[in-house]
């Protein structure tokens, strides 16, 4: 396909070599396809109505700025105080404010108008994550008929939770204007289809796609992964210990943004239970790296406080002059250091209460020495559990279950560790991030572009898999 690839994500990649995440996933595809990455500046200021072109990357980067009010209402508000808790099964934390939704919609509308000005007819758009659910709808309103794909990095909400939105039916309508909706897991696809099954406007076609009004939408799972080879390379370098002379003899690692969805308090409590049950004799350490995130949202302030209290109380209860059971580091660390930390750990604890995928789980697996690998303890509620079935799968709500998995991980014989690791490593390779983006784009390219009908033929757009012969795309 000759057209350019235009990627939209809330965060614009910083600098020429940003570490990890979506940027690594898409850097090659976007460079090959003469692509453009659109995203917001991190800091709010004067709103921009046209993009600033940023220098210094092999692909084009176009940035826009949010006002302070938009940053509060669209980003911290609707995106992170409504959609994020809604999708992570924490409807108790949803904060409904009319100005949140108003600015969420208006930012999407403004962005659509800005994209229209740079768009060429054969460009393909790939929109990322919950910040931009209505973007296709806004683009279609402006007459855009290009192929538009969407990938939701976080869990798809349950039908029951969606009813917390003031107008739950808008959600199905937002997604229906995409040609392809990619989700992390089979379970996410099932929830999305359940939403359409319950919606009288939707109809299922024999090939499994959803006809919604004039639109036809494909919903498929594309489990995201990591850049496996580069992670293996970083982890296998013989780097000095990131702990200096303070390296614990045996440690378990946890690495997460300090988000309530990650179940970090549950993890600390379970580690406490393990220590109480005799684990303290083994003197292992739990090294928890948890950089702050979305700090202006109250739920994040609460979890930060809660975690400090639990860590303080467990250390008070168990620490000795030469052993601190929990080392809690509340900041971002270098990617190279992270790889080394994973490699030297005896186990990793991922205890998300809900998680789209959880890349930390895959990074940990890739970082291990296959001859003497550490053990992954993984929440069954992380998307990664659909693929990493030979990790020690745990129920993060069950303190005893996690505590006994910690014990089992630290006692696991070498041949069992090797066998489980080899299985997980295959799954990590199967979902390598370059395969992920290639597969998504290949499916999107095969979707028929949406056709704009002349108004004399009635309002509407068709993205039929076989376009009516008498209709021509505008
Ligand atoms: P989420 O996208 O919800 O934050 P993931 O586990 O899928 O969760 O991805 C998190 C990414 O951020 C991983 O690539 C991980 O290595 C990185 N990361 C998380 N915490 C840190 C940290 N303290 N320092 C450096 N990188 C981190
Ligand atoms: C998750 C979301 C991303 C988001 C990231 C960091 O991975 O899926 O869209 O960028 O968290 O969150 P932040 O709010 O700091 O961008």
pLDDT in tens, the chain (474 residues): 568 999 999 988 887 666 556 776 787 788 888 899 999 998 999 988 899 999 988 899 999 999 999 999 999 999 999 999 999 999 999 999 999 999 999 999 999 999 999 999 999 999 999 999 999 999 999 999 999 999 999 999 999 999 999 999 999 999 999 999 999 999 999 999 999 999 999 999 999 999 998 899 999 999 999 999 989 999 999 888 889 888 898 999 999 999 999 999 999 999 999 999 999 999 999 999 999 999 999 999 999 999 999 999 999 999 999 999 999 999 989 888 999 999 999 999 999 999 999 999 999 999 999 999 999 999 999 999 999 999 999 999 999 999 999 999 999 999 999 999 999 999 999 999 989 999 999 999 998 767 654 444 434 444 443 333 333 233
151: CA distance to ligand 2 center in Å? Answer: 13
pLDDT at 196: 97
Q: Span 228-430: which CATH code? A: 3.40.50.2000
Distance separating alpha carbons of residues 346 and 365, to the nearest angstrom: 12
Q: Report which protein residue has its CA nearest ligand 2's atom 15.
A: 293
pLDDT at 229: 93
Distance separating alpha carbons of residues 60 and 38, to the nearest angstrom: 9
Q: List all residues 6 or more positions away from 210 whose beta carbon is below 8 Å from its beta carbon.
A: 176, 193, 196, 202, 203, 204, 216, 217, 218, 219
Pick the CATH number of 5-225+434-466 from 3.40.50.2000, 3.40.50.1000, 3.30.460.10, 3.90.50.10: 3.40.50.2000
For ligand 2, whether the C-beta of 129 sits within 6 Å is yes
Positions marked active-site: 153, 355
Minimum-distance ligand to the CA of 25?
A: 1
For ligand 2, whether the C-beta of 11 sits within 6 Å is yes
Residue whose token pair is 């580690």:
271
Site to substitute for ligand 2 among 78, 153, 156, 359, most atoms within 8 A of C-beta: 153
pLDDT at 20: 57
pLDDT at 467: 35
Q: Report which protein residue has its CA nearest ligand 1's atom 2.
A: 358
With contact defined as beta carbons under 8 Å apart, do 33 and 82 qualify? no
Give the distance from CA 217 to its chain's centroid: 22
With contact defined as beta carbons under 8 Å apart, do 449 and 145 qualify? yes
For ligand 2, whether the C-beta of 293 sits within 6 Å is yes
Cα angle vertex 184, ends 119, 298, to 5°?
Answer: 90
With contact defined as beta carbons under 8 Å apart, do 284 and 248 qualify? yes
Structure tokens at 126: 């790939």
Q: Which helix (H) or strand (E) holds 98?
A: helix 98-118
By CB atoms closer than 10 A (0-12, 13-18, 19+), residue 368 is buried
Structural domain boundaries in the chain: 5-225+434-466, 228-430
pLDDT at 451: 64
pLDDT at 454: 43
Same fold, 5-225+434-466 and 228-430: yes
Minimum-distance ligand to the CA of 24?
A: 1
Indicate which atom in ligand 1 lies nearest the CA of residue 20.
14
Site to substitute for ligand 2 among 40, 88, 129, 358, most atoms within 8 A of C-beta: 129
pLDDT at 294: 96
For ligand 1, whether the C-beta of 360 sits within 6 Å is yes
By CB atoms closer than 10 A (0-12, 13-18, 19+), residue 124 is buried
Q: How many CB atoms lie within 10 A of CB 418?
A: 16
Handedness of CA 193, 194, 195, 196 (dihedral sign): positive
Phi, psi (degrees; rounded to nearest 5) at 254? -130, 135
Indicate which atom in ligand 1 lies nearest the CA of residue 331.
23
With contact defined as beta carbons under 8 Å apart, do 409 and 347 qualify? yes
For ligand 2, whether the C-beta of 332 sits within 6 Å is no
With contact defined as beta carbons under 8 Å apart, do 378 and 390 qualify? no
By CB atoms closer than 10 A (0-12, 13-18, 19+), residue 292 is middle
By CB atoms closer than 10 A (0-12, 13-18, 19+), residue 2 is exposed
For ligand 2, whether the C-beta of 154 sits within 6 Å is yes
| DSSP 8-state code for residue 92 | G
450: CA distance to ligand 1 center in Å? Answer: 36
pLDDT at 16: 67
At residue 43, the 3 state secondary structure works out as coil
pLDDT at 19: 57
Site to substitute for ligand 2 among 257, 299, 354, most atoms within 8 A of C-beta: 257
């Amino acid at each position: 396909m000759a057209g350019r690839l235009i990627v939209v994500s809330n965060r614009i990649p910083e600098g020429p070599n940003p570490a990890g995440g979506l940027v690594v996933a898409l850097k090659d595809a976007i460079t090959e396809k003469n692509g453009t990455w659109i995203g917001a500046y991190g800091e709010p200021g004067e709103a921009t109505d046209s993009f600033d072109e940023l220098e210094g990357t092999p692909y084009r980067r176009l940035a826009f700025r949010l006002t302070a009010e938009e940053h509060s209402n669209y980003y911290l508000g609707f995106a992170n105080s409504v959609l994020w808790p809604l999708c992570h099964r924490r409807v108790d934390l949803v904060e409904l404010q009319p100005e949140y939704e108003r600015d969420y919609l208006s930012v999407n509308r403004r962005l659509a108008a800005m994209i229209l000005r740079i768009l060429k007819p054969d460009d393909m758009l790939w929109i990322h994550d919950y910040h931009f659910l209505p973007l296709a709808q806004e683009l279609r309103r402006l007459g855009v008929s290009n192929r538009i794909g969407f990938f939701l990095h976080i869990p798809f909400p349950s039908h029951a939770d969606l009813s917390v939105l003031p107008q739950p039916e808008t959600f199905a309508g937002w997604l229906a204007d995409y040609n392809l909706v990619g989700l992390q897991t089979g379970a996410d696809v099932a929830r999305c289809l359940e939403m359409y099954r319950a919606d009288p406007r939707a109809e299922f076609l024999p090939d499994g796609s959803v006809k919604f009004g004039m639109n036809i939408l494909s919903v498929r799972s594309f489990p995201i992964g990591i850049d496996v080879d580069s992670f293996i390379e970083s982890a296998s370098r013989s780097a000095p210990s990131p702990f200096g002379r303070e390296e614990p003899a045996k440690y378990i690692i946890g690495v997460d943004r300090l988000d309530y969805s990650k179940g970090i308090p549950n993890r600390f409590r379970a580690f406490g239970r393990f220590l109480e049950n005799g684990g303290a004799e083994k003197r292992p350490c739990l090294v928890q790296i948890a950089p702050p995130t979305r700090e202006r949202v109250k739920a994040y302030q609460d979890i930060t406080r809660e975690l400090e209290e639990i860590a303080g109380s467990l250390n008070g209860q168990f620490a000795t002059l030469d052993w601190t059971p929990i080392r809690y580091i509340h900041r971002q660390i270098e990617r190279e250091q992270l790889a080394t930390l994973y490699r030297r750990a005896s186990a990793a604890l991922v205890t998300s209460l809900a998680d789209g995928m959880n890349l930390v789980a895959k990074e940990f697996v890739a970082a291990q020495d296959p001859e003497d690998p550490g053990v992954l303890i993984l929440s069954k509620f992380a998307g990664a559990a659909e693929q990493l079935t030979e990790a020690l799968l745990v129920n993060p709500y069950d303190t005893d279950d996690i505590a006994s998995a910690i014990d089992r991980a630290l006692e696991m014989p070498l041949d069992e560790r090797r066998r489980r690791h080899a299985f997980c490593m295959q799954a990590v390779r199967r979902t390598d991030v370059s395969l992920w983006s290639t597969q998504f784009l290949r499916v999107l390219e095969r979707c028929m572009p949406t056709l704009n009908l002349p108004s004399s033929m009635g309002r509407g757009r068709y993205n039929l898999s076989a376009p009516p012969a008498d209709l021509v795309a505008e």
